[in-house]
Amino acid sequence: MPEAFGARLSAAVARYGPLCVGIDPHASLLAAWGLPDDVSGLERFAATTVEAMAGQVAVVKPQSAFFERHGAAGVAVLERTIRDARDAGLLVLLDVKRGDIGSTAQAYADAYLDAASPMQADAVTVSPYLGFGSLVPFLETAERNGGGVFVLALTSNPEGPEVQHARVGERSVAGVVLDHLRSRNGSTTPQGSYGAVVGATVGDLTEDVAINGPLLVPGLGAQGGTADDLRRLFGHVWDHVVPASSRGVLAAGPDVAALRAAAAATLDELR
Ligand SMILES: O=c1ccn([C@@H]2O[C@H](COP(=O)(O)O)[C@@H](O)[C@H]2O)c(=O)[nH]1
């Protein structure tokens, strides 16, 4: 059995610190890096980011949308980026926010988490809005392959509360998602492999985020979240927190040393 994702993530964070750098090749960033908004620019952007972050941070998070917008050739770049980053020792969390009926969810899980897939990542983001049970294929495929699953709970965008704070009896929708994750992770040590996405920008925490699993916290930097917000919101579960920043770090490119310095500065703020 491969080593569980939760344990691999804990070890990587202990070694490099708690930071996930997003690989988000926005058209505006390609331009700022002096790259064309095409597949060659995409490839250069992703390869430079992987080179800069290898040995520097624990996790990178390619945002699938920015690769998909270049069509099949863009998806091929995503596949190479995942492989190169993993070969370089980075954990790869593929931000693809999938979710569908169980039988289709299994196909997505096969694509992103199965060891036989050319696109296998270490972990993937999923959406629970077809019901938490629809995610079971992701959870089981992850378990078999030493992978992780991050479920959207309290997202960083201002529109999220309309759905995520809605009540289901005594609980909120986000609370139900977090309850499922807590129960799935149980008392696994050092932590379970099933995580939640909770934004740095949520204001106050309306739910208990102690799920004995990782918390991916996007929203740092470009979306206005700060290191102080993180400490205030997540100080009590700090060992499980993986703050994520994309534009906040990527804006320093394309120079590799400058990208590394931006990641190091972000880590310093978090310490
Ligand atoms: O709640 C969420 C879930 C995912 N994201 C993704 O994270 C990055 C954030 O990029 P920044 O440039 O650091 O703002 C992006 O890929 C989002 O799709 C999120 O922001 N919030």
Q: Domain ranges in the chain?
A: 5-266
Gap from CA of 1 to ligand 1 centroid (Å): 32
* Residue of 19, 24, 150 best suited for mutating to test ligand 1, as the one with most atoms within 8 Å of CB: 24
Is the pLDDT assigned to residue 271 strictly greater than 90? no
- Judge if the beta carbon of residue 197 lies within 6 A of ligand 1: yes
CB of 207 shorter than 6 A to ligand 1: no
The Å distance, Cα 90 to ligand 1 centre, comes to: 19
Closest CA to 66 of 92, 107, 37, 87: 37
Using alpha carbons, select from 20, 65, 27, 31 the residue that is nearest to residue 197. 20
Summarize pLDDT for 249-262 with one digit per residue, the tens. Answer: 999 999 999 999 99
pTM of the entire predicted model: 0.98
Ligand 1 pocket member 225 (CB < 6 A):
no
Residue 218 C-alpha to ligand 1 middle, in angstroms?
5
- Known catalytic membership, residue 61: no
Q: Is the CB of 25 under 6 A from ligand 1?
A: no
Q: What pLDDT does residue 1 have? A: 83
* Rounded average pLDDT over 15-38: 98
Query: Does 222 contact ligand 1 (Cβ within 6 A)?
Result: yes
- Pocket mutation for ligand 1, best pick of 95, 129, 226 (most atoms within 8 Å of C-beta): 95
Nearest Cα residue to 115 out of 80, 136, 143, 96? 143
Distance CA(264)–CA(57), nearest Å, equals: 8
- ipTM beyond cut 0.95: yes
Which residue's alpha carbon is at the smallest distance from atom 16 of ligand 1?
63
> Which residue type sits at 214?
P
pLDDT digits (tens, 9 = 90+) for 172-212: 999 999 999 999 999 999 999 999 999 999 999 989 999 99
Catalytic site residue from 97, 165, 171, 247: 97
* Average pLDDT, integer, range 48-60: 98
Instruction: Please tell me the predicted confidence (pLDDT) of residue 215.
Output: 98
Altogether, the residues listed in the chain come to a count of: 271
Domain 5-266, what architecture?
Answer: Alpha-Beta Barrel (3.20)
Residue 177 to residue 182: CA distance in whole angstroms? 9
Which tens digits make up the pLDDT trace of 55-107? 999 999 999 999 999 999 999 999 999 999 999 999 999 999 999 999 999 99
Could you tell me what percent of the chain has a pLDDT over 90? 99
Torsion of CA 206, 211, 215, 217, to 10 degrees: 0
Q: Where are the alpha helices (DSSP H) in 54-185?
A: 64-68, 71-87, 102-113, 136-145, 161-164, 173-185
